[in-house]
Amino acid sequence: MIKYQYPPLKSWDDFEELCSDLFKREWNDDLAQRYGRQGSTQHGVDIYGKSENSGKYTGIQCKGKQIYPEKNIDIEEIKMEIEKAKLFPSDLQTLIFVTTAPRTTKVQDYIRSTSISNRENGLFDVGVLFWDDIESLINKHKAVAERFYGSIESSNVKDSDRYSIKRVKAGLNYESFIVPLKEEPFYPNFDSRLIYPLYDFIELERNPNVYFSDEEISYIFRRLTIVAKRIVDLVGRHSFPCNPPKGSYIEIPYKDYPNGSKHQKLMLDTIEELIFDSSEFFDTYILFMERTRALA
């Protein structure tokens, strides 16, 4: 299924109505609805309903009333809304914060620890959904997408391609990463931190907004991901870091590793694989850039 990018809606009220419609369908609860109105006492809850799958009553807190769309989500404000939700008049079992802000581990870590603490004290679970999570729900519920965005598929394909190309280029800078990779950094000394950009690149595969409408480009992207995983796997299993004095960091040269000829041959064979893979990754990246030049 092709997934499309959706921008945040123009107004806060529309965003809350979008969330209400999405969760009504996601929970399969026709009685789910917005709770109260802005300015009334809502006890930290904007939308309220019952999930068909879990059977739990869930409250949704749509963040961003002061600044919309949100660029970040404030933990102090989250704390205040959680305290308000403790006074919610019904049996609230889960509270989910929904935001137009991008994903951040700081907020995720706080939400997770708070949810654990709440459960230990017999209170509701706490979760958070960022804008890319909302986009996934919009893609899942096409009727909601059409209601709030109309038919945008034809115009959105190229936008999604441009976004995906931008993410790939940002993670794999040509001068600082691609060119050095071509120069075979694995021999005779290798610092495994040099391939850190590959870890972030591999994560793009899990981003629902990174995809390509052209089948050939999509195949090249998948090939890049496969080779990147292979390089990361080889380095993870066969690099040999040591910890010299004063906490500095080096990697022992493979050719000088003293554990006998059998171990040394294994490492030299690994180097050959890494050199081959780095060359393939370089060539595939160049092909990717050639095929996407018209879309960038």
Name the pLDDT band for 186 (thresholds 50, 70, 90).
confident
Task: Summarize pLDDT for 85-125 with one digit per residue, the tens.
Answer: 888 877 789 999 999 888 899 999 999 999 999 999 999 99
* Mean pLDDT to the nearest integer, 75-92: 87
Name the pLDDT band for 249 (thresholds 50, 70, 90).
very low
Cross-sheet strand order for the sheet of 33-34: 33-34, 47-50, 57-62, 94-98, 125-129
**Is the domain covering 12-149 a CATH 1.10.10.10 domain?**
no
The answer, yes or no, to whether residue 251 has pLDDT greater than 60, is: no
Alpha carbons 55 and 253: distance in angstroms, whole number = 58
Alpha carbons 157 and 103: distance in angstroms, whole number = 23
Each domain of the chain, given as residue ranges in start order, spans 12-149, 153-292
* Mean pLDDT to the nearest integer, 69-90: 86
Q: How many residues are given for the chain?
A: 296
* Mean pLDDT to the nearest integer, 15-28: 93
CA-based nearest residue to 82, from 24, 125, 48: 125
Handedness of CA 120, 124, 125, 129 (dihedral sign): negative
Q: Is there a contact between 249 and 241 (Cβ–Cβ < 8 Å)?
A: yes
Q: Is there a contact between 50 and 31 (Cβ–Cβ < 8 Å)?
A: yes
Q: What is the pLDDT of residue 92?
A: 86
Q: What is the pLDDT of residue 37?
A: 61
* Mean pLDDT to the nearest integer, 64-93: 82
What DSSP string runs through 80-140? HHHHHHTT-SS---EEEEE-SSPP-HHHHHHHHHHHHHHHHTT--EEEEE-HHHHHHHHHH
pTM of the model: 0.53
Q: Is there a contact between 187 and 154 (Cβ–Cβ < 8 Å)?
A: no
**Is the domain covering 153-292 a CATH 1.20.120 domain?**
yes
